[in-house]
Structure 1
């Protein structure tokens, strides 16, 4: 086992009262650079007393940390994620998002450290580990790994970029392969969820934005981390990776979504077939380089 350090990430709906709820955790080995981050599988309990704007702040913070962890795995990355870095996050974040003081934990990997933390210090209403594999995070983690395994410059993989269509429509997609021009958009959906109304509304909102794109309206992709803008055309490759349903009600929600996927000409894959998304992206990037 190795010495890892961790902090519990807390969300404070009203920092003045000091009341908080544990939102997630970050753990890493400063020596090897093995870092991981995880948030609650469900935020239903938090929503009872935290406004949507507060949850958006916490979610955005988790996304920024995830982006930093992804970035430090690439060559020539200047920022070192070590104990001082984590201590700095603890010191600097004293508002809606706060981190507990870094503490040591023995584990074989960052993921094992997070399992221990969630098993003993954070109450997650969804049983572990079975249900974790059923939410959307499991799909996006696999897609990140898929894109790392193919022959694509990591800087082309845009995580959680915003797609703007026309003057007023925008939607945050999970991944875009873009560098001045977007060649692929990829979205993950889990239909093994209890909040099916929420899934249905999200699919419809996503479908509405992309239907406007398919219709030929002017559109662009903006990387939320770098603010780089890429053009996008109506024929962009559209990929969807799903966690398929198990119950009858989940199946009905999935059937409705499949009609939207088909209408957009999206390629739909199960999680087991996610490698096909990376292979398609690699082919598109090589074709773009050849054309250039």
Structure 2
């Protein structure tokens, strides 16, 4: 329910438009081209609200570089601050474009943080150590192969090439952000493309250390992600883990959300297939 007099601010969430002007994959219920009209609908709803920003949780496109030329003008109609993070399908472009993906979307850096009204938002680059994002000769490609092989040998449920992990450097940066936020009494929402909890085949390869880090900080109250188009939710320690549903799924049903930040809870108002949640802090 709405926060009424304890309302602080609102922001919008979109996950996995995965737009491409290609035929649908009906077997997987993915209708890539239809995401353009769904984005138009979502932005119309967002523009009718007073929002601080709108975040898209990765997979803006489905691997065709020219798709950015179609989808970014739709986002330009948004009257609020427009923020992105990157997903694995954003990097399924030809190799010569890999280094330009972040720049094409106007990211200040592949991972970043910002503060708003006493809250800190920490935005991760979940693709950093992966089989999709680093250039072919980059050490992180070899590291990704080794991490995936180790998980496969253990029979881990998330041992799949469509998942990824953080570098040790980015993980240390995340820890420093949590500590810095704690020092100034900021609550933290972490945003990433990939889920980490509850255990699922779509989770980050280094899910355990991320969960342990977040649960070790009382100010880390939520982790928002996409990637698993079916959506998911869990809570461990004091942190809520919300996996938003993929917009690309289904021929006609949309999926997006508005998050209302309150003094004592987060209210997630879902549209279309997205479920509404009330998360006590």
| TM-score, normalized by the shorter chain, greater than 0.5 | no
Greater length-normalized contact order (CA 8 Å, ≥ 6 residues apart) = 2
Higher helix share: 1
* TM-score, L = length of structure 2: 0.30
